[in-house]
Amino acid sequence: MKDLRNLPFRDALLSGVCDLAWQGDFGKGVSTGSGIWSDPGANPCVLYGPAPAANVSNQGVPIPQWRLGMVLSGDLETEFVYGKLVLAATTDLMPGQVYQLDENYAATLLTTSNVVLNASVVVANVFAPATPAGTYYIWFCRAGHVLVRASAASIATGMAETTATGGQVKFLNSHTGGATTLAPLSAYGASSNITFTGNTVNGSPYITNVVSAISGGAINDLQLGQVITGTNLPANSIIAAIDKVGGQWRITIGTNTTGNQSVVQNATGTATGTTFTVTNMVQALLYWPTATVTN
């Protein structure tokens, strides 16, 4: 296996389609000069923080300097707020993780045990495994169509609640005792409803000719850090990078081991047109949700 962190252009590899264009649907689409990718240059796929630090996509303070609480709008009804994240230890920052913001726009990874009632609930889109302790800044999504990290028990049309796993929510028809309701935040897909097809070659780290089953083409519902299963994939596989070769999309197979999500692993067999399934994210709608009530 090889580590993407040791390769040239590491940031471009890890950011995947986030570096190609950003259309409000979390890193997919084509460049149009509109949405959050344009002025003032905000990119929710980027982690901002102190220099020097490993696995930080962009160092230093952006110019013009943004303010905590600043709001920007993207496509597909998305809205983002600029917040601060203080890490006390090395942490895996993964797309789709759910946070709460306090009155000073400081973010805390949301769990059932630390939830603060009436706090704003937001979603981050950063892929930064093994990020060192420090103070960082992220554009957090608080409204629109998003991909959210969810438990395997989540159902389509379910309403969200907290779980014991930091940054992960569960979508159910009736809420669990002790969990806190997050509303309005709802799923419009059940767990494992995100699928795509592609080709594998034994010993290669790539899934090629990738086509999304939901979006009818391209990769509009795929995201870095998604846990994936399917024939010829090694155990604990994730999407570690997304890029385009010629006219086809390609995925790099990574590992879901803590701190090592950027480490590449190889397919175990050769096949064409295999269906792969995302197991840890659902498509969701959020409209300025808060932690409303503990059940």
Residue 93 is part of which domain span?
4-148+284-290
Domain total in the chain: 1
Q: Which long-range contacts (CB under 8 A, 24 or more apart) does 163-168 make?
A: 163/111, 163/112, 164/111, 164/112, 164/113, 165/111, 166/97, 166/109, 166/110, 166/111, 167/94, 167/96, 167/97, 167/98, 167/99, 167/109, 167/110, 167/111, 168/97, 168/98, 168/280
49 inside domain:
yes
CB-based burial label for 157 (10 Å; 0-12, 13-18, 19+) = exposed
275 inside domain:
no
* Residue linked to tokens 């009736």: 174
Q: Looking at residue 245, what is its pLDDT?
A: 85
Q: What is the 3-state secondary structure (H, E, C) of 64-94?
A: CCCCCCCEEECCCCCEEEEEEEEECCCEEEC
219 inside domain:
no
Q: Where does the pLDDT of residue 20 fall: very low under 50, low under 70, confident under 90, or very high at 90 and above?
A: very low
CA atoms within 13 A on the CB side of 19: 17
Q: Return the sign of the alpha-carbon dihedral for residues 48, 284, 13, 128.
A: positive
- Mean pLDDT score, 98-125: 94
Q: Looking at residue 2, what is its pLDDT?
A: 45
Report pLDDT digits (tens) over 217-252: 567 788 889 999 999 999 999 999 888 888 888 999
Report pLDDT digits (tens) over 192-213: 778 899 999 999 999 999 988 6
Q: Is the predicted pLDDT of residue 23 greater than 70, yes or no? A: no
Q: Where does the pLDDT of residue 38 fall: very low under 50, low under 70, confident under 90, or very high at 90 and above?
A: very low
Total-model pTM: 0.81
223 inside domain:
no
Closest to 28 (Cα-Cα) out of 282, 217, 168 = 217
Q: Looking at residue 50, what is its pLDDT?
A: 67
The residue with greater pLDDT, 30 or 202, is 202
227 inside domain:
no
167 inside domain:
no
Q: Looking at residue 212, what is its pLDDT?
A: 81
